[in-house]
Amino acid sequence: MRRVLLAAGLITLPAAAFVPDRTLTGHMVEHLLIGVLAPLLVAAGAPVRTLLPHLRTPTRRRLVGLLHHPAVRALSRPAVSFPASIAVLLGVHLTPAFTVALRHPWVHATEHAALFWTGLIAWAGLLGVDPVGRRSGAIARLAWVTAVMGAMAAVGATFLGSDRVLFPDGTASVADQHSAGTVMWLAAMGVLVPGGLAACAHELWREEQRQRRREAVRS
């Protein structure tokens, strides 16, 4: 199952390049694929655990050592990685950076890289399927997913609530802007709600299994 999720994530990432982005709605779809769906699928696919058995021993040891470096462990903590991911999400969509990216391809590419990598680090630290940092409990997972949903809702509400064009270079009409806001709302509900619930349910199941093992040892 993990390999299927990993493959889906790796396919989703380049597939975003084929989304027509001449409108703001197209940009929203592209950014959601790159910054939300692809990172979530890749992180759930445990790329490090999948890769480790195929590496030579010295390389494997160096990679494991890197993952356990204090700086990497600190960055992978949800308390660090999720605020960073949310800041990038809001900065890309609610600041002049959006207009600058439309004029300069290298800025646009930098935005995509920031969306993907901050999202991947956040989800990897939250899900804990790779050997990065400590696993988060079900309540913590729900809290952080809710925070991301709030940020996406803020972007959607901004686009839906404005009666003037916010980004003249990125949208042809207010209707396109409202459509982009709707896409953001639907993505928050359609991607993060199922993904968050699945992550919480999986952690509760793991905790139940650990409790059963502890009880078996005591008996």
| Token pair of 71 as six digits | 């700086």
Mind listing the pLDDT tens digit for each residue in 11-31? Answer: 999 998 888 777 888 888 999
Identity at 68, one-letter amino acid code: H
Average pLDDT over residues 55-61: 82
Q: Return the number of other C-beta atoms located less than 10 Å from residue 108's C-beta.
A: 19
Confidence of residue 79 (pLDDT cuts 50, 70, 90): confident
> Coil, helix or strand for 163?
coil
- Provide the sign of the torsion angle of the four alpha carbons 191, 196, 198, 199, taken in this order: positive
Mind listing the pLDDT tens digit for each residue in 178-205? Answer: 988 898 888 877 777 777 677 677 667 6
Q: Where are the alpha helices (DSSP H) in 68-192?
A: 70-75, 78-94, 97-103, 105-127, 138-161, 174-187
Average pLDDT over residues 46-56: 82
What is this structure's pTM? 0.82
How many domains does the chain divide into? 1
Give CA–CA dist 188/196, Å, rounded: 11
> Coil, helix or strand for 32?
helix
Range of the domain at 87: 2-218
Identity at 216, one-letter amino acid code: A
